[in-house]
């Protein structure tokens, strides 16, 4: 019974995520790169709280440079979250 429930919830989540769209920002010449991603990762939790009260606040930059921005964002969020190292020690 649990597997079926998980499968139904996963299918529902994927269906709803398929309907999501991202705002298209105007084309600018200088897209955020690694260091902007790192900064946005550090402040992601504050941006999330701000986004709850003001939908104009974004957590993730829409026009970014791709992989380097993503890598910086991941490192920034991992620095806040601890990267899972503390949980692995216990």
Residue 22 inside a domain? The answer is no
Which range scores top for mean pLDDT: 21-25, 69-73, 81-85?
69-73
The number of angstroms, rounded, from the C-alpha of 55 to the middle of its chain's C-alpha atoms is 15
Q: Please give the pLDDT value at position 31.
A: 80
Higher pLDDT, 1 or 68: 68
Q: Model confidence over 1-59: pLDDT tens digits?
A: 688 888 888 888 777 766 666 666 556 567 888 888 888 888 888 888 888 998 888 88
Residues near 6 by Cβ (< 8 Å), separated by ≥ 6? none
Helix (H) or strand (E) holding 65: none
Residue 7 inside a domain? The answer is no
Residue 72 inside a domain? The answer is yes
**Burial (Cβ within 10 Å: 0-12, 13-18, ≥19) of residue 32:** buried
Show the domain range for 55.
Answer: 31-82
Residue 74 inside a domain? The answer is yes
Does 84 score more than 80 pLDDT? no
Residue 49 inside a domain? The answer is yes
Q: Count up the domains in the chain and report the number.
A: 1
Q: Which of 34, 90, 20, 39 is nearest to 65 (CA)?
A: 34
Residues near 47 by Cβ (< 8 Å), separated by ≥ 6? 40, 57, 58, 59
Residue 77 inside a domain? The answer is yes
Q: Please give the pLDDT value at position 20.
A: 62
């Amino acid at each position: 019974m649990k597997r079926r429930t998980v499968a139904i919830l996963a299918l529902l989540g994927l269906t709803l995520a398929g309907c999501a769209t991202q705002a298209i920002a105007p084309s600018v010449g200088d897209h955020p790169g690694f260091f902007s991603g790192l900064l946005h990762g550090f402040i992601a939790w504050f941006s999330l709280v701000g986004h709850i009260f003001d939908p104009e606040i974004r957590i993730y930059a829409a026009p970014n440079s791709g992989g380097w921005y993503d890598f910086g964002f991941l490192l920034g969020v991992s620095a806040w979250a601890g990267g899972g190292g503390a949980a692995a020690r216990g």
